[in-house]
Structures are given as structure tokens and as C-alpha cells.
Chains A and B, each alone.
Chain A
Amino acid sequence: MQTNQLFLLFCTVLLLLGLVAFFIGRSKAARVRSAGGSMFAQPDQYAWFAVLSTAGPAILVGAVGALIMLLLGADIPTFYLLAASLVVAAAGLVVGIAQVRPSFHARQAIERAIRMTLASAALISIFTTFGILFSIISEAIRFFQMHSFWEFITGTTWSPGDSFLAAAGRGDGSGAQFGSVPLFAGTFMITAIAMLVAVPVGLLSAIYMSEYAPQKVRTVAKPILEILAGIPTVVYGFFAAITVAPIIVNVAGFFGLDASYNNALAPGIVMGIMIIPFISSLSDDVINSVPDTMRQGSLALGMTKGETIRDVVIPAALPGIISASLLGVSRAMGETMIVVMAAGMRPNLTANPLEDMTTVTVRIVAALTGDQEFASAETLSAFALGLVLFAVTLTLNLVSVLMIRRFREKYRVNNL
């Protein structure tokens, strides 16, 4: 509460100082100009420069101080920190007012500051990537200090067991095994099912929309397909668990097969539906940018429309189609809610899609939503799994970008 009031006071004083800077700066500039001197900038620009030189350094000092407190754990009392930055603000005010003279380029100074602000905003996205990498890697390293990396990659048993007891100082956690192979098997199984649904449907829809459909159908069908991508994944998860899974169990039962209610097929199919628009819209763009001269050449040689599409257009668009599919795979592997709600929790190494299987993302959620100590091996294992997930999806994305770039260079398309 004390800090809140201090902070409020600080903001008020800073605001007042800024106002003072603005009006003094402007009146001084106006006075200088009316005295007959020619100036490089308008009075308002001098005024804004004064505000900038008052507030900018002060906020910077405050932010740096707060960061030092957080990073180094140094204990600077908030009061002194805010007081110091107010002193800086006052100094900035004096400097800013002193700069109001005919030979000073106030506008250029302001624009330099704006440019710096914009550039630092652009850096935030870089920081985000580093933040993800740093947070995942640092915790994953702690995990690999407890359990060997080799065992993690090749082990076929995932049973965190009583590792949470070990973190609490009871038990030695020796029963815990972190072999991630069954998790990745589940992930690949569900991803494969999803792609079996999404690639044919998505690609054929794209072919229809770009080669056959009249303009009217196109303008209606495209946004409708996009709705599929806009439905929240938690909704798909509910749909998979409540509607699709029982249907699959019934159908399997009809054929005398025994299916689990958490079978891999239901989340796989629903995930495939979700990915259809990703594949269809990118494939559509790619097929549309295959040059028309290729179609004309093929038709002129007497090929039918179907043959042209199959033997000329699709092969030409293949890099783009593969790129779209890879993006789809990457999305399917990282998809969380559908599998959390519809797939199983039990790590299960099997090739039967009717059995329950679990995935990497399910285990990440399971490890982080339990009430374990943060330092327990199970919690940390989530970050190790996250690291592998990051590496795999990053590779897929990069390959996909490279393929689409190759397509673009081959046909000199600019809008992809």
C-alpha cells in the first residue's frame, strides 16, 4: 500500500514537471522567436523536447533501478529510487529548457528519441524468443542434472512415481523413470491421424477453390473454412471427448473391436479438422500463384483439365504444399487442449489407435497443474519436454519457410 501511494505521488509529480516543462519551453521558444531570431523548429517542438528530456531519463532511471533490485537482489528503498529519478527529472527539465535556442534542432532530437523507442519495441519480440529459450533451457538443465539425457531420449517407461516426495525430502525418488519415447509415440500417432484427415481434405478443397469454383463460391467458402481455424481448441477438445470418442467406441464395438474412450483416433480426427484451413488456405495461395502459362501450355498439348492439375499444377506447387503440411504438422504436435481433454493420461507404447495414448503436451500440463514443489523432477520434466517440442517445431517451421522461399524464387511470386 505504501509503495502504491509512493508510486502515485511519483507519477503526479512527474506529470506536473512535464507540464511545467511544456509550458515554460513553449513560452520561451515563442519569446525567442518573437524577438526576431529565426529558429530551427516550432515552439511546440521545443516544448515537446523539454517534456521528453524531463520524463525520459527519469523513467529510465526508475526502470533500471527496479531491474537492478530484481536481478541483483540489491535492496534499494523505493523511496530513494523514486526520489532519485525525480531529481533526474528536475535536471532534465533544466537542460531541456536551456536547449530552447535558435541553433538547436528540436525536431530532429525528438525524432531520434521516437526512432529509438520504436526500435526498442521491435527488440521485444527478440527478447520473447530468448525468454522462451532461456526459461525452458535453464529448467531443463536442472532436470537433466537429476536424470540422464540419454535415458530421457531413449527410455520407454514414463513413470514420475514419487519424485515429488523426493523433492520434499522424503523418499529418494529412485522409482521415478523419465523415458519419453511413449510420449513421443503418442504425439506422432495423433499427429499422423490428424494429417491423414487434414492433408487430403485441405489439399482437395484448395484444388477445388482455386481451379474449379466460380468466384461466388470462392468468396463464401474461404471464410467458412477459416471459421474452422477460429474455433477455440478447448471447444474442439470437448467435441472430441463428448461427441466423437463415443461414436468411435460404438463403431469399433460394431466391428467387434475394443476401443478405449480415450482412444487416439478421436483427438486425431478432430485435430485434423482443425488443421484443414491451415493447409487449404496456404495451398490455395500457392496453387493460385503457379503461372497461368504452365496451364495454358499443358492444355494446348491436349491434356484434360484434370491431367493438367495432377501432372502440371500440383507438381509445380509441391514445395508450397509440403510447406503447408509441415506447418500443419508443427501445429498438431504443439496442440494441447484437444489432447488434454480427449486423449489418455497413461503413457502407452502401442500402434493401435483405438487404445489410449498420451502425448508430450498432455504430460507438460499434467506436470505443471499438480500441486508439486516446483523443484521436483516431475515439474522440471515439463520443461525438458518443452525443450524437445520447441526444437522439433522450430525445425519444422524453418524447413517450411525455406521450402516456400524456394517456390517463391522459382516462380518469382511476391505475395507469399
Chain B
Amino acid sequence: MSHSFDDISQQLKRRHRKSARLKWISMGALGLAGLFLLLFFADMLNKGLPAFQQAYVNTEINYTEEAARDARQAIPDDLVAIVSRTEIRSIPLQMRNNENLLGTSEQRWLLVNGEVDQYLKGNRNSLSEEERTAIDERVESGQVELAFNRTFFTEGDSKTSERAGILAAVVGTVMTMIVTLAISFPIGVMTAVYLEEFAPDNRITQAIEININNLAAIPSILFGLLGLAIFINFFGVPRSSPLAGGMTLALMTLPVIIISTRAALRSVPDSIRHAAFGVGCSRWQVVRDHVLPLAMPGIMTGSIIGLAQAMGETAPLIIVGMVAFIPDVGASFTEAATVMPAQIFTWAGEPEAAFVEKTAGGILVLLAVLISLNAFAVLLRKKFERRW
């Protein structure tokens, strides 16, 4: 051998260095993924938090005869350019609804229009230099100020950024999810129970199993095509309605619920079944009285996670038309509605700069809901999970 021990130990050192390098590189990869996540949340918070604030102006409103004809007369002339047009427009309506208002006046905080609002938050806006100094003075005197944005949580969509809110989308999401869960939960659990506890191991069962795994991996937009062609065009379900959207999402959530329910059923040990069979229970009684109750925490966890997934889904809902402009909170399952992700998509498409903030604000609300749903699911599992 021509290698001396020195050579070999040199070589060994090199090899160990190389080995250590892999550790650092792989650690770096994980760190990179974490960094992405951190960056993403920081960016969203940075863009979205201002949406929860809105500029208001304190002004006197005079409910005079002239104001009933030309609403701009109701507020001081120099404020007309600052106050939101939607506020001015609603003054004659208020007067018509309440006859007693005529001739009175009151002091109130009104919404400020989007441009001024953006200026106060230090964002890009189209105000001139004089307008800016005028507003700065009003801020000094306390007449204009930033406060918590109630409108964002109490109103539906609007074409004017300062009045656009997320309530209609939240209600639409709740209604759509009710439909989704009402369809996919029973069918999913029943399917899983059949496959795990009843089905004979034959070709048909295998076909169903392969099919379910495949359904879980089909792009969501294809479910939208199904919803459009079958539910809307064939069965005549109203387009854009929570019913159509919920049914479409239900089919998408079905495989998630089936797969997690099967896992939960499988984790119930056979000894439980044997004991129940041993005291004379029938198959259905074993399932109903013993297996299902024991598997319930797992089933609930899986269903909540599936629900959260459906709640964030947008593509199939766009196809079934749930991106309509919905200013009013919906009241029925068959009327046009929108959901939170679709509302975010709509806002993201608005050209006005003020809507960027609204979009990010909507995203924060959606993420908060999704994270709390998932956290709830994890808690549920932690609390009720049983190790056998």
C-alpha cells in the first residue's frame, strides 16, 4: 500500500467534512422553507393590518331643505372633497326615512374617502400638495383621525374602497360550508364505514378505493367543470348560489373525509370489535355502539381539516360563478352569494390602490379563520386521542 496513515486520515477528514456539509445544507433547506413562511406572514401583516383602520372625519350635518335636494349642501363645503361619496349619498335617504330630521343638525364621524384614507396611512394616492396640507391641519386639530374600521366587518362589497366590507363574504362562506358539510360529512362517513367495516374484499371495493384516492388528487378546477355542467346546466341549480358552490365543494371534500374517517376507524383496535361480537352484537351494533363513538374524535378532526381546505378553495367556485359583486348580505341558499376567497380574488382585481389593503385585510381574516379551525382540530385530537 502506497497510502500512508496520514493520507488516509486526510481522506477521512475530507469525507467527514463532506458528510457534515450535507447536514448543514439540509438544515438550510428547512430553514429556507421556514423563512418563506415568515416572510409571507410578515408581508401579509404589513399589507393587511392597515385595512382594519379607517380614517373618519368629525363634521356637522345640517338636514336642511337644500340638503334633501342636493346632499352636498348638508356638510361644510370644504369637507365635500374629503367625506366618502357613499356617506353623502345616504343623507337624503336618511331624511326620507325619518321626517323629524328636517331642520335639525348633528355632529357625527363620517367615513373619509379612499384617497385621503390612503394618504393618512402613508400610501400612494392622487392628492395634490394643497389638499395634503389641508388634511394635515385637520389631523392636527383632531377633526380627522384614524380609528378602528367597523365598516369592514359590518358591510358587504362596495365599489368604493372605504365602504367595502367582508361581511357578505363571511355569511356566504358560512352558508356554503353548511351545504358542503351537510352533504359530505354523512356520505363520507357512511362510505368509510362501509369500506372499513362491511365491504367484502372484492374488485368493486378495490375500484372504489382506487377511485377515492384518485379523486383526492384531481385538480380542483375540474370539480368546478363538473359543477357547471352537471349541477347548474343539467339539474338547474341557481348559478352563483351557495347551494351550487356547496355541492361542488362537497364532492371535493368527500375524499378527504373518507380517507381520514377510514384512518380513524382503522385505529380502533380489533379487540373492541371481537369483544362486542362476543357478547352477541350484530355488525351494525358493533359499529354504531362501539367503533364509531371511539373513532369520532378522529373523524371530527379529519372533517374539520377537510372543511378548512374547502373554505380556502376558490377555483371551482369561480367556475360556478361565485365571484359576483355582492353588496348585500345574502339570506337564502339559492341567491347569488360570494365567499371569502372569492371576495379576495375580486378585490385583488380592482385597479384602485386602496383595494390592495382591503385584499390583504380579507386575507388576514381568512387566514385567522383557517388557522383557528386547524388549531381547534389539533386540540380536539390532542384531547380525545387514545393510544391503544
Known contacts: A201-B29, A306-B19. The answer to whether A337 contacts B282 by CB under 8 A is no
Once A201-B29, A239-B40, A239-B43 are accepted as A-B contacts, the answer to whether A390 and B344 lie under 8 Å apart by CB is: no
Q: Are A121 and B194 in contact (CB under 8 A)?
A: yes
B residues near A110, Cβ cutoff 8 Å:
284
CA distance A276 to B222 in the complex (A): 23
Interface string of A313-349 (1 = CB under 8 A from B): 0000000000000010011011111001100000000
User: Which of B22, B193, B254 makes the CB contact (< 8 A) with A124?
Assistant: B254
In the bound complex, how far is the Cα of B190 from the Cα of A114, in angstroms? 10
Other-chain contact of A232, B26, B251, B313 (Cβ < 8 Å): B313
A-B interface contact total, Cβ < 8 Å = 259
Taking the complex as formed, is A230 at the interface, i.e. its CB lies under 8 A from any CB of chain B? yes
| Chief secondary structure at chain A's binding surface | helix
Task: Say which one of B74-82, B107-115, B294-302, B366-374 lies at the interface with A.
Answer: B366-374
Interface presence of B345 (CB below 8 A): yes
Task: Compute how far the CA of A108 lies from the CA of B284 in the bound complex, rounded to whole angstroms.
Answer: 10
Given contacts A126-B211, A304-B18, A393-B217, contact A341 B30 (CB under 8 A): no
Task: Please state if B258 and A125 are interface contacts (CB–CB under 8 Å).
Answer: yes
Q: Once the chains bind, are A364 and B191 in contact (CB under 8 Å)?
A: no
Q: Within 8 Å of chain B (Cβ to Cβ): is A208?
A: yes
> Which segment, of A96-104, A130-138, A174-182, faces chain B?
A130-138
Question: Is the beta-carbon distance between A135 and B315 smaller than 8 angstroms?
Answer: no
Of A232, A331, A369, most B-chain CB atoms within 10 Å? A232
Pair B344/A234 contact, Cβ less than 8 Å? yes
Which residues of chain B are within 8 angstroms of A200 by Cβ–Cβ distance? 29
Q: Which of B221, B235, B283 contacts A111 (CB 8 A)?
A: B283
Number of interface residues of B (CB under 8 A): 88
Q: Does A128 contact B (CB under 8 A)?
A: yes
Interface 9-mer from A9-17, A79-87, A159-167, A221-229: A221-229
Is A115 a contact of B230 with CB atoms below 8 Å? no
Chain B's nearest CB lies how many Å from the CB of A298?
12
CA separation between A390 and B191, bound complex, in Å?
24
* A204 lies within 8 A of B29 (CB): yes
CB-based contact B33/A228 at 8 Å: yes
Q: List 28 A-B contacts (CB under 8 A).
A: A70-B235, A118-B193, A118-B198, A122-B195, A125-B191, A126-B208, A129-B211, A132-B223, A200-B29, A202-B33, A204-B30, A212-B23, A213-B30, A224-B37, A230-B374, A231-B367, A231-B370, A234-B345, A238-B348, A242-B348, A306-B23, A334-B222, A335-B219, A337-B345, A361-B315, A394-B214, A397-B218, A401-B213
Which residues of A does B touch, CB under 8 Å? 70, 107-108, 110-111, 114-115, 117-119, 121-126, 128-129, 131-132, 134-136, 138-139, 200-205, 207-209, 211-213, 221, 223-225, 227-228, 230-235, 237-239, 241-243, 273, 276, 280, 304-307, 309-310, 327, 330-331, 333-337, 340-341, 361, 364-365, 368-369, 374, 382-383, 386, 389-390, 393-394, 397-398, 401
